[in-house]
Copies of this chain bind each other. A is one copy, B any other.
Amino acid sequence: MLDDQSLGPIRLSSSAHAALRPAGIARIDGGFWSERQRINAAAMIPGGFAQLEQAGNLENLRLAAGTASGPYHGDLPFLDTDVYKWLEAASWQLARENDPLLTKRVVEAIELLSAAQEPDGYLESYFQVTRPGEQFVDLKWGHELYCAGHLIQAAVAHSRATGRPELLQIARRVADHLVATFGVDRKDALDGHPGVETALVELYRETADERYLRLAEYFIDRRGHGLVGDGKFGREYWQDHTPLREAQFATGHSVRQLYLLTGAIDVYLENGDETLLTAVVRLWEDMVATKTYITGGMGSHHTDESFGEPYELPNDRAYCETCAAIASVMLNWRLLLATGDTRYADLAERTLYNGFLSGISLDGTGYLYINPLQVRDGHGGRPGDHGVIRAPWFRCACCPPNVMRLLATLQHYVAATDGFGLRIHQYASGEFGGMVAGGSAAVRVSTEYPWHGRIEVAVTATPGNSWPLSLRVPDWSGAPTLQVNGESQPADVRAGWVHIDRSWRVGDRVVLDVDMPVRPSTPHPRVDAARGCVAIERGPLLYCLEQTDQPAGIRLDDVAIDPAAALSTEDRPDLLGGVTTIRTTGVLAEPADQGWWPYGTARSDTRPVELTAVPYYAWANRARGSMRVWIPLAGT
């Protein structure tokens, strides 16, 4: 059945203030992302459950339920969210594919949550087990509302994906408890970690209960008035230094800031308060223009996991938490829905293919929490190497199940309807469709993206009248070429879209070809950390040099790009699960002996060197070694 009601993570209410609505039909069934979804289902989600059992997250809930005894596992107050995010991912996965074993595990986890929940609806095993009687007391660091948010998102997912009510009932009791507890005339307080806002809006969408939307509005409105207060990192850390509508700069803990903006735009989508949209766009522009890595990653400081100062973007000490990349995709998707502006789809694409995907090993068994853009020659076995070596899980395991839930829903991020026609804003092979002018429409997309820029779109369902099919032209693309049913047409790109408006017939075929030359990209001149360097990009992919691909015996830090040398591509189906590499003849500049002091008049002995770049997302899947995204230009 063709339907315009998305069964994905966002189901806008009928009155939503959205330029676009998620496509009701959304299925990826081939190509690049299909393989990632397959690995998510085959390795990551099952592996995640085992990790939750091993790390004690499930046992902690049994402690809260009174069905087990012993010490609490771990010392973080938000360990339940790993279970919730896994449940969300598993539920979305069940919508994609039946899996009795996975269903059994999900049902058992839900029964465990039901047993652990307090009569008043409260549910957070850490406080129930280790700090009973302290509920909603330590809101700065307790993460209780953050936990509730992830539970609610899992419950909405489970309800939409399976049609079953059990988890949603648990989540509503949690949410009702929050509604009863928090408010200007009740407990006037906020969580130290935003996140519940977006969940409450989605719960409103799922239930039509406006109290949840009102509570989300309250949490957005009250932040910035010092209700959270000071902490060791200052009020900016949790965005409590200034009200969102007055804030000029993206600041503080990156994931907190991004989740807050995501929640604010969700509130805007439902209540139409344009002061929120204006504020979120303003902070997005500051964040993207001055505090975002070329990977799409965000967060420059390790200590407080925060945005750095404008243009403070160190490559080696980049934080770029995988969760921040996920939060950025969530935010950009909502901004795309709100505005239809392709820049949000452009950044989502960049983040998905680079700063997000780098967080997952090719086989789905290892993760990066931190996603640096450089590993220096001589990087040693220091504390902090979790940014260099993939781990199967983390003590603070927020990223892995967050990755799983995004991968399990990725098909929903691809297409949208705009009231008139269908828009394809990300490129993946599959079927996408929804309500267009006059009825339901659907298309099949076939593409070898991101390796090749040819995108074929075949109409598989259409009403009798005409409607526009709109295809996004990525920001990195030059002028694309367009064919409709084999005939070339001018590709008239308007604000990032090619619109093709006609009376479609089933079987009609559109071919959009976006050019994918190798692009040596330069940094903004204020980005000190990348001065005199270029990054190699092709299509949506950012490339890097890994030590292991270069001639033996050279130091990667002595390598430079020759601006006069050609950059050629080579398809390597044998390498890293199948990639296109980029090769060039660079310059190896080995520093001449300068004596004991490394400053003065530098001299180097130079000779040509064959260099091979691989996609950044695939780094750290082989022998440990140095890596660079930004490569010096010879002569600087």
Residue numbers of A with Cβ under 8 A of B are 232-234, 236, 249, 251, 285, 288-290, 292, 294, 302-304, 309-312, 314-317, 343, 346-347, 374, 376-380, 382-383, 475, 521-529, 531-533, 535, 555, 557-558, 589, 591, 594, 596-602, 604, 632, 636
Report if A380-B557 is in contact (Cβ < 8 Å); known contacts: A303-B302, A591-B525, A602-B525.
no
Q: How far, in Å, is A444 (CB) from chain B's closest CB?
A: 31
Task: Determine the chain B residues whose CB is within 8 A of the CB of A523 once the complex forms.
Answer: 598-599, 602
Distance between Cα atoms of A292 and B584 in the complex (Å): 33
B599 touches A532 (CB 8 A): no
Report if A532-B636 is in contact (Cβ < 8 Å); known contacts: A598-B290, A599-B294.
yes
Q: How far, in Å, is A235 (CB) from chain B's closest CB?
A: 11
Task: Determine the chain B residues whose CB is within 8 A of the CB of A382 once the complex forms.
Answer: 234, 236, 309
Q: Which listed residue (B251, B376, B521, B591) contacts A312, Cβ 8 A?
A: B376
A522 touches B599 (CB 8 A): yes
Q: A378's closest neighbor in chain B, by CB?
A: B310
The 6 closest A-B pairs by CB, nearest first: A532-B532, A524-B598, A531-B532, A636-B636, A310-B378, A522-B602
Q: Which listed residue (B376, B524, B591, B601) contacts A599, Cβ 8 A?
A: B524
Task: Determine the chain B residues whose CB is within 8 A of the CB of A527 once the complex forms.
Answer: 598
Q: Which listed residue (B232, B285, B529) contacts A528, Cβ 8 A?
A: B529
Task: Determine the chain B residues whose CB is within 8 A of the CB of A529 once the complex forms.
Answer: 314, 528-529
A558 touches B525 (CB 8 A): yes
Q: A310's closest neighbor in chain B, by CB?
A: B378
B525 touches A597 (CB 8 A): no
Task: Determine the chain B residues whose CB is within 8 A of the CB of A533 once the complex forms.
Answer: 531
Q: Which listed residue (B303, B312, B535) contacts A316, Cβ 8 A?
A: B312
Report if A524-B594 is in contact (Cβ < 8 Å); known contacts: A303-B303, A317-B317, A557-B311.
yes
Q: How far, in Å, is A152 (CB) from chain B's closest CB?
A: 32
Report if A597-B632 is in contact (Cβ < 8 Å); known contacts: A315-B528, A525-B558.
no
Distance between Cα atoms of A597 and B533 in the complex (Å): 17
Task: Determine the chain B residues whose CB is within 8 A of the CB of A312 once the complex forms.
Answer: 316, 376
Distance between Cα atoms of A186 and B591 in the complex (Å): 50
Task: Determine the chain B residues whose CB is within 8 A of the CB of A304 once the complex forms.
Answer: 383
Distance between Cα atoms of A525 and B636 in the complex (Å): 9
A597 touches B288 (CB 8 A): yes
B309 touches A596 (CB 8 A): no
Task: Determine the chain B residues whose CB is within 8 A of the CB of A315 once the complex forms.
Answer: 528
Q: A555's closest neighbor in chain B, by CB?
A: B526
Q: Which listed residue (B525, B528, B591) contacts A526, Cβ 8 A?
A: B591
Distance between Cα atoms of A234 and B385 in the complex (Å): 12
Task: Determine the chain B residues whose CB is within 8 A of the CB of A288 once the complex forms.
Answer: 596-598
Chosen A-B contacts, 6 in total, with CB atoms closer than 8 Å, are A232-B383, A309-B380, A343-B596, A475-B597, A526-B557, A531-B531
B521 touches A599 (CB 8 A): yes
Q: A232's closest neighbor in chain B, by CB?
A: B383
Distance between Cα atoms of A342 and B526 in the complex (Å): 39
With contacts A232-B383, A233-B383 known, what are 15 further pairs, Cβ within 8 A?
A: A289-B597, A310-B376, A314-B314, A314-B317, A315-B528, A346-B597, A377-B526, A475-B597, A521-B601, A522-B600, A523-B602, A525-B591, A525-B604, A525-B632, A531-B532
Q: Which listed residue (B232, B596, B632) contacts A289, Cβ 8 A?
A: B596
Distance between Cα atoms of A529 and B599 in the complex (Å): 13
Distance between Cα atoms of A233 and B385 in the complex (Å): 12
Report if A558-B526 is in contact (Cβ < 8 Å); known contacts: A343-B596, A376-B309, A533-B531.
yes
Q: Which of A234, A380, A636 has the most CB of B within 10 A?
A: A636
Task: Determine the chain B residues whose CB is within 8 A of the CB of A289 once the complex forms.
Answer: 596-598
Distance between Cα atoms of A598 and B313 in the complex (Å): 12
Distance between Cα atoms of A560 and B531 in the complex (Å): 12
B531 touches A285 (CB 8 A): no
B600 touches A521 (CB 8 A): yes
Distance between Cα atoms of A632 and B316 in the complex (Å): 20
Distance between Cα atoms of A499 and B343 in the complex (Å): 70
Q: How far, in Å, is A74 (CB) from chain B's closest CB?
A: 17
Q: A314's closest neighbor in chain B, by CB?
A: B314
Q: A524's closest neighbor in chain B, by CB?
A: B598
Distance between Cα atoms of A627 and B372 in the complex (Å): 27
Task: Determine the chain B residues whose CB is within 8 A of the CB of A636 once the complex forms.
Answer: 531-532, 636
Distance between Cα atoms of A531 and B343 in the complex (Å): 31
Distance between Cα atoms of A338 and B374 in the complex (Å): 40
Distance between Cα atoms of A533 and B632 in the complex (Å): 13
Task: Determine the chain B residues whose CB is within 8 A of the CB of A589 once the complex forms.
Answer: 525
Q: A476's closest neighbor in chain B, by CB?
A: B600
A285 touches B524 (CB 8 A): no
Q: How far, in Å, is A125 (CB) from chain B's closest CB?
A: 27
Task: Determine the chain B residues whose CB is within 8 A of the CB of A599 once the complex forms.
Answer: 294, 521-524, 535
Task: Determine the chain B residues whose CB is within 8 A of the CB of A378 once the complex forms.
Answer: 309-310
Distance between Cα atoms of A249 and B379 in the complex (Å): 12
